[in-house]
A and B are shown apart, each in its own frame.
Chain A
Amino acid sequence: MTNKRSGPTRRKVLQSSAALVALAGTEAITGFPAVHAAEPVTLRYLGTAVNQSTDIAKKVKEDIGITIEYVPVTTDVVAKRIITQPNSFDLVDSEYFSLPNLVPSGNLVGMDAKKIKLADEITTVLSKGVIDGKAIGNQGTAPFKVFYLEGKHSKKFSKTPTEWLTLIPTTYNADSLGIRPDLIGRPIKHWSELLNPEFKGKAGLINVPSIGIMDAAMAIESAGQIKYGDKGNQTKAEIDKTVDILTKAKKSGQFRAFWTDFNESVNLMASGEVVIQSMWSPAVTAVRSKGIKCDYVALAEGYRGWCSGFALPRTLSGKKQDAAYEFINWFLSGWAGAYLSRQGYYSAVLATTKKFLKPYEWAYWYEGKPATEDIHAPNGTLIEKVGAVRDGGSYDTRMSRIACWNSVMDENEYLITKWNQFIAA
């Protein structure tokens, strides 16, 4: 699929650059800048590979004529690029939890809510931290805490709604532990199982300090060893205790391996090196699509939530800016949301997504009902057979059970030092 695309793309690049040369020529001679309007726009889209699908780029080109040029990097590098090279992209797919680090740099601008047609329909899970009128867990950098800016160029978050949005949500989800039910052979109901000596040498943990410490904190709190004030914003003392417990577990051989890359977690699980570990929902899907049993369990203590979204760099203006808004509006209009929902993510505007999903798909992915037909991934892989039910149930159930959100802690620097200590131990 990728190969098929690379040919036309390269040709298109050549064509458009030829057109550009021709255009520059005509402009110099005739002096009609209006010719620009006919030229197709290309947006450089910086983000993790998660939401960057060639199918989406193809559909955008068909629907609104904008060319999307993906710049796929890891989560760390997205943040690094925003800080150090804000001119190297036209649109960025970042995460809410990074915002406390990114916004003060002033390299991102507030998104004009008036230009986002469906801004008011973005789910309240993200904008208010509320579902069906009930508040959900707000530990960590919950999206609603950093949803608005005080002004377009403000470096401060607004506690009350303004017309300037930090990010326009693309995908979000509730993360949990992945397990191999065939190798464990009993139900897993609590986060504490991650540190249960029964799985000595068979547990895995994500080696991204800010996320790993939270999965660990969920496990430690579940085991009753520490009661945290805010797992997503731990005090130095809490970090110390958490890392102590982790270090003891590591020294006693609890962990088989740590992972940083999505694919590593898939391999660890699929090869049976690890039977219980921190995992992301599409990784679980990937293990299952190999025909290996893997469950994303709904645990009593709830989930760790995360959410990514679009932001614009400060330097973007004119036609490119208009194109970026047009693209974002298109993204919220349903097709992309439905596409990503089939990979197990949730979309920001549910109503439009529902329109683009078949009723049985909506029932499976969002309503937690048994599948009435086989469930396929966007690329056609069979994910679930008739009768299967999504782990953790419906959208409402899963979202309402989020206990904490991915975060950047106030003691971030200290955390990193301690985490390095833990890895070196």
Chain B
Amino acid sequence: MLQAGPPRSGAAAPGAFVERVRKRGGARKAAPSRSTAYWQASPMAVVFFIFFVLPLVVTLVVSFWRYSEYAIIPAFTLHNYAAVFDKCVSGLPKLCTTFSTYLSTLKFCLIVWAVTLALGFTIAYFLAFHIRTLTMQLVLALVCIIPFWTSDVIRMISWIPLFGRNGLVNKALLGLGVVSQPVEWLLYSSFAVTVAFVHLLTAFMIVPILNSMLRIDKSLIEAARDGGASGWQVLRHVVIPLSKTGIAIGSIFVITMVMGDFVTIGVMGGQEIASVGKEINVETGFLQFPIAAANAVILLCVVLAIIYGLTRFIDIRKEL
């Protein structure tokens, strides 16, 4: 309860202030505040413009250019987009490369999101409500996060000796007599990709959800209990609604990372499973920048659409 108090008020105050300033145009306060605010925001704006807006605009522009093997020709064409969606409509019901790739990526997205959400929520709930002391909470939160100080490639690759044909799991299964032949689907399969994703991304769910949960005023829960709510009802009507922001932020992390990934799918899927990222990677490798740009723009639109959908359910800004 103690630790829940200060961060909440601390975080709420600036939000309320901004709200007030926005409503009244900041005119009530000292006059120079407006230009000062712009100056203060300008370094971030410049960095944002140079490293985010500009490259994005270039990508968008290039996606409409023609190209040959060795040159990009600045002439407007829709050819790249047409190439990405080649036979996507006319070829139905047979799925074209783009559709089947997105379908496969979306499938991973959904499974990984559901699993990391369930895991992340449970772990965060445990940390926030079942661990009594702040020290212990910190220690356990660190235990969840410390593995992330190592490279994610290392964490991914460490599954290989476990899942391999001659790996630990197969040796154990063979030794126990559960199977007579090594299980092949453990590695270089959708299963392996999913496990690696869950392993890599669960912390991205835990941290924001934990953050939201720590800010829940415990007296609310006590009040619910006093009002006769069961544990399930408290969870359903108090904890979950108040953790929504954390859930949304965690979901955005997980979804964007799965959608743009090509390393995990490549390594754990034995490069036999397609991903949009890998497609873009191959295309740039062969100097087909415009078509890669078109693919990237489409990917961006899809991810933005998903996140837009998400924010329809949860207003992240309101809760921050």
Contacts and interface: CB of A to CB of B under 8 A. Distances in A.
Contact of A258 (B165, B270, B285): B270
Given A420-B279, A424-B101, A424-B274, A101 B166 contact: no
Interface stretch (A35-43, A372-380, A391-399, A410-418): A410-418
A421 interface: yes
Nearest to B96: A421
14 contacts: A101-B287, A103-B70, A201-B184, A209-B286, A250-B272, A257-B272, A258-B271, A271-B164, A271-B166, A273-B165, A408-B69, A420-B279, A423-B272, A424-B100
B69 A423 contact: no
Nearest to B184: A201
B230 interface: no
B270 A257 contact: yes
A213 interface: no
Contact of B97 (A102, A207, A259, A421): A421
B274 A101 contact: no
From B161, B266, B284, residue with most partner A Cβ within 10 Å: B266
For chain A, the bracket of interface size reads 35 or more
A314 interface: no
B282 A416 contact: yes
From B184, B187, B188, B270, residue with most partner A Cβ within 10 Å: B270
B319 interface: no
B284 A80 contact: yes
B70 A83 contact: yes
A105 B71 contact: yes
Contacts of B69: 100-101, 104, 408, 412
Contacts of B287: 79-80, 83, 101
Interface in B266-280: 266, 270-274, 278-279
A293 interface: no
B178 to A, nearest CB: 20
A421 B97 CA distance: 5
Interface string B112-131: 00000000000000000000
Interface in B242-290: 266, 270-274, 278-279, 282-288
Interface in B81-130: 83, 86, 97, 100-101, 104
A408 B287 CA distance: 12
Contacts of A416: 282-283, 286, 288
Q: Is the interface of B mostly helix, strand, loop or mixed?
A: loop
B162 to A, nearest CB: 12
From A101, A267, A424, residue with most partner B Cβ within 10 Å: A424
A70 to B, nearest CB: 21
A257 B271 contact: yes
A80 B285 contact: yes
B187 to A, nearest CB: 7
A345 interface: no
A273 B104 CA distance: 24
B188 A256 contact: yes
Contacts of B161: 271
A76 interface: yes
Interface string A102-130: 11110000000000000000000000000
A269 to B, nearest CB: 12
Contacts of B70: 83, 101-105
Contacts of B100: 424-425
The 6 closest A-B pairs by CB, nearest first: A257-B270, A424-B274, A76-B285, A258-B271, A105-B70, A101-B69
A272 interface: yes
Contacts of B101: 420, 424
B83 A272 contact: no
A424 B273 CA distance: 6
A417 B69 CA distance: 14
B285 A271 contact: no
A296 interface: no
A255 interface: yes
Interface string A227-260: 0000000000000000000000010000111111
Given A104-B71, A423-B273, 16 more contacts: A80-B285, A80-B287, A104-B69, A105-B71, A201-B184, A255-B270, A256-B188, A271-B165, A272-B165, A273-B188, A416-B283, A416-B286, A416-B288, A420-B282, A424-B97, A424-B101
